């Protein structure tokens, strides 16, 4: 499929495909993200924020480019998390081991929050790790599908593109999950659970191709895979967009995507900022601001 000239319309403008979408966070846990965020409109077509961090965003921090908000379902992987079936839907319960309080993530609450702040939304899904028991894998997939179908039938904002999430443990199961969404009115499909399988490139690409075959021309997103060489292959097989925080993780370690063999020793916060901007520009094909380019020229002399 030729994905050039394809785009997704949002209330903040169109996201042109293929799209590399950087992940950002709000709050104080990852301060480097706060330094990077003002540059994102120059370097990226949109930004991805997890439900957990989006809830920490203030009104003044609302990005002035399309913001994608996922469901936060990755928290199902936490040791203190439990997936519960309630009224035919999948609910995530996360226990605070210090206070014994239980946070409940319900598809209704996720959708309502997304309709308040998001420009693109994703349904509440439950990751299926590679070695998960087959019975539990099937249960998680069934609840993922149930949550998606509930969301499409209960959304209120018609100007909010809603993506259904695919979770599977192999090609056949991913295809079956995607097939359950065909003709249901979704604005796009997103594949989760590929990060722990990313070392198996043939499997990752085969899953993406299988889902693409089922969904026709609907926009197709892949969560969490952001290394440029892998992204290129995903776009080749029909994926429209990806999101990743890899660009900033590399920078935090003093590394450049354009030359991974070199490492900046003890980078300062400013160094990490400029490395992250360079990594993101490498991924998106955008042009760095002049000041950042000049700063990088000085940094290159510090590599060894």
Per-residue pLDDT in tens (0 to 9) along the chain, 304 residues: 555 679 999 999 999 999 999 999 999 999 999 999 999 999 999 999 999 999 999 999 999 999 999 999 988 888 899 999 999 999 999 998 888 899 999 999 999 999 999 999 999 999 999 999 999 999 999 999 999 999 999 999 999 999 999 999 999 999 999 999 999 999 999 999 999 999 999 999 999 999 999 999 999 999 999 999 999 999 999 999 999 999 999 999 999 998 888 888 889 999 999 999 999 999 999 988 655 554 555 555 555 5
Burial class (CB within 10 angstroms; exposed 0-12, middle 13-18, buried 19+) of 104: exposed
Burial class (CB within 10 angstroms; exposed 0-12, middle 13-18, buried 19+) of 28: exposed
Do 108 and 223 reside in the same domain of the chain?
A: yes
Q: Which residue has the tokens 């990751």?
A: 127
Residue 1, domain member (yes or no): no
Residue 107, domain member (yes or no): yes
pTM, rounded to two decimals: 0.93
Is it true that the peptide bond before 127 is cis, omega within 30 degrees of 0? no
The CATH number linked to 210 is: 3.20.20.105
> In degrees rounded to 5, what are phi and psi of residue 20?
-100, 115
Q: d(Cα 226, Cα 155) in Å, to the nearest integer?
A: 30
Do 129 and 260 reside in the same domain of the chain?
A: no
Do 55 and 143 reside in the same domain of the chain?
A: yes
Do 48 and 139 reside in the same domain of the chain?
A: yes
pLDDT of residue 99: 85
pLDDT of residue 97: 81
Do 87 and 154 reside in the same domain of the chain?
A: yes
Do 152 and 288 reside in the same domain of the chain?
A: no
138's CB contacts (< 8 A; 6+ apart) are none
Do 137 and 272 reside in the same domain of the chain?
A: no
Among the candidates 202, 217, 244, a domain finishes at 244
Q: d(Cα 162, Cα 107) in Å, to the nearest integer?
A: 13
pLDDT of residue 254: 93
Length of the chain: 304
pLDDT of residue 287: 87
> In degrees rounded to 5, what are phi and psi of residue 37?
-55, -40
Spatial contact of 44 and 65, defined as CB atoms under 8 Å apart: yes
Which H or E run includes 31? helix 31-36
Do 239 and 280 reside in the same domain of the chain?
A: no
Do 219 and 294 reside in the same domain of the chain?
A: no
Do 78 and 134 reside in the same domain of the chain?
A: yes
pLDDT of residue 260: 80
Q: What is the number of domains present in the chain?
A: 2
> In degrees rounded to 5, what are phi and psi of residue 7?
-155, 160
Q: d(Cα 70, Cα 23) in Å, to the nearest integer?
A: 11
> In degrees rounded to 5, what are phi and psi of residue 291?
-60, -40
Range of the domain at 266: 250-304
pLDDT of residue 158: 92
Residue 12, domain member (yes or no): yes
Do 185 and 294 reside in the same domain of the chain?
A: no
Order across the sheet with 188-191: list the strands.
Answer: 19-22, 241-244, 220-222, 188-191, 162-166, 120-122, 67-69, 47-49
Residue 2, domain member (yes or no): no
> In degrees rounded to 5, what are phi and psi of residue 108?
-65, -45
CA-based nearest residue to 37, from 283, 248, 222: 248
Residue 301, domain member (yes or no): yes
Q: Is 39 helix (H, G, I), strand (E, B) or coil?
A: helix
Residue 288, domain member (yes or no): yes
Q: Copy the structure tokens of residue 159.
A: 């100007």
The DSSP code for 274 is H
Do 278 and 193 reside in the same domain of the chain?
A: no
Q: d(Cα 174, Cα 164) in Å, to the nearest integer?
A: 12
pLDDT of residue 4: 61
Spatial contact of 247 and 253, defined as CB atoms under 8 Å apart: no
């Amino acid at each position: 499929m030729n994905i050039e000239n394809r785009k997704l319309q949002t209330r903040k403008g169109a996201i042109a495909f293929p799209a590399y979408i950087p992940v950002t966070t709000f709050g104080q846990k990852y301060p480097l993200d706060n330094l990077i965020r003002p540059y994102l409109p120059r370097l990226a077509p949109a930004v991805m924020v997890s439900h957990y961090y989006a809830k920490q965003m203030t009104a003044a921090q609302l990005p002035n480019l399309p913001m994608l908000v996922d469901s936060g379902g990755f928290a199902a992987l936490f040791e203190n998390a439990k997936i519960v079936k309630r009224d035919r839907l999948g609910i995530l319960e996360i226990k605070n081991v210090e206070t014994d309080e239980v946070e409940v993530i319900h598809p209704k609450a996720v959708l309502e929050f997304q309709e308040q702040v998001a420009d693109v939304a994703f349904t509440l899904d439950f990751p299926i790790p590679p070695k998960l028991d087959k019975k539990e894998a099937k249960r998680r997939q069934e609840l993922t599908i149930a949550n998606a179908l509930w969301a499409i039938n209960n959304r209120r904002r018609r100007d909010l593109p809603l993506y259904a999430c695919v979770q599977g443990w192999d090609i056949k199961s991913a295809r079956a999950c995607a097939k359950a969404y065909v003709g249901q009115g979704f604005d796009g499909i997103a594949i989760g659970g590929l990060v722990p399988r990313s070392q198996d490139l043939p499997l990752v690409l085969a899953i993406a191709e299988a889902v693409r075959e089922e969904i026709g021309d609907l926009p197709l997103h892949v969560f969490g895979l952001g290394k440029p060489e892998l992204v290129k292959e995903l776009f080749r097989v029909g994926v429209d967009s990806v999101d990743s925080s890899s660009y900033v993780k590399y920078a935090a370690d003093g590394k450049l995507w354009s030359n991974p063999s070199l490492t900046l020793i003890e980078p300062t916060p400013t160094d990490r900022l400029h490395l992250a901007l360079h990594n993101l520009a490498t991924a998106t094909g955008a042009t760095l601001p002049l000041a950042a380019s000049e700063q990088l020229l000085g940094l290159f002399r510090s590599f060894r």
